[in-house]
Structure 1
């Protein structure tokens, strides 16, 4: 073999080997594109797009701890033998003690929104997980005695779950469970936790509603509601001698609420009316809000409701004492961390209440809320005045 033949043979072998290696080459697949969670700032802080959809979701809530003391917020711990016949106790020694009202709550809120050709489709739910200390009745020799009948009870604690809100909204329509439009359209009374000592309207109810926003500060709303089984009448003696589902509709005729309002830079004005289809009674409520500078805001609100002795004074939308009631109050923002709140209420039956409190954010999302409550009935010959203290600690999450 000559030199030329050897070179040609070597070259052919190298080509064959490189061809075999090329056939065995490993092809590395391109990595799948990663889909990161996208922020959705269309509806405010805390919303993000659910991956693979155009639906924005916000998960938020709070953990809260409430402590109440005194005549208005405390609980009776042990029965008072002086308030009932000694025969129940056979003259045995029974003491009377007061104790705290306490509530631990975890609220979970889920809010989703999607833009459609008919407007924003929204679902919203707020679920409360509670652990309460409360006053219940007591059994004496096997006989159940209502604490309301004698002004005493025993203190017990229990867990329970409640749905505060669960509704669907689309293009101004709302259907589901939420607070009555009679209470929400004019706004809750004030920023205090113990608002509504003089009731200004009902809360949780099934609702079908429509709200129109004109874009220029004008709004109007109408709602059909089913009411609930709670509540007492203005003219029912205490303790109530009968047990009835006072306000839940008993036919296919719903309660009806309607309201109109205007909001501007100076404040706002709103008017709402409700018809109780069970007792066939009406109620109306109006409110004016004032923005006095950047730090001070104030409001005045008044309500009137028709009531009939034959109906025990029952009216779902006018649950205050007597025919009329009014409320006033406001808020003073001392700093970014602290706001003072005040609410005063008074009704036709001379029931009076006042609540003074502070909202103080120790750090971001951690609220400390102390309040002092005073109530009285100016028409009562008995010692009807009562004091109480209240403290709320609340940590928020999710914006």
Structure 2
């Protein structure tokens, strides 16, 4: 090997090493920084994830619903130009839940916004967009837009769609409430409520409506009592309810309400007619996909025969997340036309609902 060959080989090696180092430097500079992927949060149940960069857990969900009604009663059809036709409605519900742990307990929020499209007759007085929930809760303390504790603490009447053909409480209100969970099956609630905005029951002074309730729940079921004082009309109402889990397939409930009234009128916590009303029903789980629900309700009436309402359905989960619910109703309202075309008779209802 001569000197010339040695020098050429050395130069080639230096160029190769320099080029490799330069290539390595370019590759390092081009590598992206590690991405921060969304983390699952299982503290508050399924569907939650951490908002990136925070310790707050968020869940987004809701449902899309399509309803058809026919026949008589408040969940039946309606009249257009003197002819009977279907009632129809479509709804999108968007819900959010948040949760995080603090030194004062769990800090949580819940919101629900509903977008409605429905026929004019059944849609009278119903806004196409409604904010149904928007509350903040720290521990047992809650403040914001909610449904009345008089309605929710005892529980909705039953598993049928038309559970309020005999009304068992008002819903929309701003409130301040505190719920105590004693941890041994006993719980209680007290709430100061403003009444539905724009209604005859919205408070007209600094004195709010007052709701108080107590409950005992166990594996057998639950027993609940709730009391509401209407500060606008200076009237009150109360409800008691018993739920029984007969077995894994069958559950039953009965609920009774009593309230005071002035000249036969309702108050914020007694929307039924007369002083008293009763609701009863149950559910039978046929299998993992189908549940049969039924309910009967009756109120005293205002100086006439009482009102009777009956409803039964089959809640069938066709595929996961999609429920098809055919329902049959019967109503007999004394002395008042609750809904066109007729307040007495049979009606049919069909619901499709996709939960997400």
Question: Normalising to structure 1: TM-score of the pair?
Answer: 0.79
Deviation, 1:134, is: 2.8
Q: State whether structure 2 residue 345 is matched by structure 1 residue 386.
A: yes
Q: State whether structure 2 residue 329 is matched by structure 1 residue 328.
A: no
Aligned match of 1:205: 173
CA distance in 2, matches of 1:219, 1:389: 38
Aligned match of 1:133: 119
Aligned match of 1:145: none
Q: Secondary structure at the match of 1:228?
A: coil
Aligned match of 2:234: 280
- Asked if the contact 2:69–2:86 (Cα under 8 Å) also holds between the matched residues in 1, the reply is yes
Aligned match of 1:83: none
CA distance in 1, matches of 2:4, 2:287: 95
Q: Secondary structure at the match of 1:227?
A: coil
CA distance in 2, matches of 1:352, 1:97: 26
Deviation, 1:9, is: 6.7
CA distance in 2, matches of 1:100, 1:8: 97
Match of 1:181 among 128, 146, 149: 149
Q: Secondary structure at the match of 1:42?
A: coil
CA distance in 2, matches of 1:384, 1:159: 24
Aligned match of 1:144: none
Match of 1:172 among 140, 163, 181: 140
Query: Structure 1 residues 51, 11: closer, same or farther in 2, change over 3 A?
Result: same
Aligned match of 2:63: 62
Aligned match of 1:351: 307
Name which one, 1 or 2, has greater alpha-carbon Rg.
1
Deviation, 1:313, is: 2.1
CA distance in 1, matches of 2:179, 2:126: 38
- 328-337 vs 113-122, which deviates more? 113-122
CA distance in 2, matches of 1:25, 1:158: 67
Query: Structure 1 residues 11, 103: closer, same or farther in 2, change over 3 A?
Result: closer
Deviations 1:84-108 (A, max 9, x none): xxxxxxxxxxxx2111111000111
- Asked if the contact 2:171–2:196 (Cα under 8 Å) also holds between the matched residues in 1, the reply is no
Q: Secondary structure at the match of 1:162?
A: strand
Deviation, 1:372, is: 0.9
CA distance in 1, matches of 2:117, 2:274: 34
Aligned match of 1:306: 260
CA distance in 2, matches of 1:158, 1:317: 21
Question: Normalising to structure 2: TM-score of the pair?
Answer: 0.88
- Asked if the contact 1:342–1:357 (Cα under 8 Å) also holds between the matched residues in 2, the reply is yes
CA distance in 2, matches of 1:321, 1:216: 37
Query: Structure 1 residues 343, 36: closer, same or farther in 2, change over 3 A?
Result: same
- Asked if the contact 2:95–2:111 (Cα under 8 Å) also holds between the matched residues in 1, the reply is yes
- Asked if the contact 1:134–1:157 (Cα under 8 Å) also holds between the matched residues in 2, the reply is no
Deviations 1:355-385 (A, max 9, x none): 11110111111101111111114689xx963
Deviations 1:326-362 (A, max 9, x none): 1110100000100011111111111111111110111
CA distance in 2, matches of 1:275, 1:185: 15
- Asked if the contact 1:358–1:371 (Cα under 8 Å) also holds between the matched residues in 2, the reply is yes
CA distance in 1, matches of 2:194, 2:209: 6
Q: State whether structure 2 residue 187 is matched by structure 1 residue 219.
A: yes
CA distance in 1, matches of 2:273, 2:310: 16
Match of 2:292 among 320, 327, 340: 340
- 28-37 vs 52-61, which deviates more? 28-37
CA distance in 1, matches of 2:19, 2:262: 100
Gaps of 5+ in 2: 337-341
| RMSD (Å) for aligned C-alpha atoms | 2.6
Aligned match of 2:339: none
Deviations 1:14-34 (A, max 9, x none): 797689768856521464222
Aligned match of 2:96: 110
- Asked if the contact 1:368–1:392 (Cα under 8 Å) also holds between the matched residues in 2, the reply is yes
- Asked if the contact 1:190–1:329 (Cα under 8 Å) also holds between the matched residues in 2, the reply is yes
- Asked if the contact 1:133–1:158 (Cα under 8 Å) also holds between the matched residues in 2, the reply is no
Equivalent positions of 1:1-399 (< 5 A) are: 26-27=24-25, 28-29=28-29, 31-72=32-73, 73-78=76-81, 96-135=82-121, 160-228=128-196, 245-309=199-263, 313-349=265-301, 350-377=306-333, 385-397=344-356
Query: Structure 1 residues 33, 343: closer, same or farther in 2, change over 3 A?
Result: same
CA distance in 2, matches of 1:156, 1:220: 37
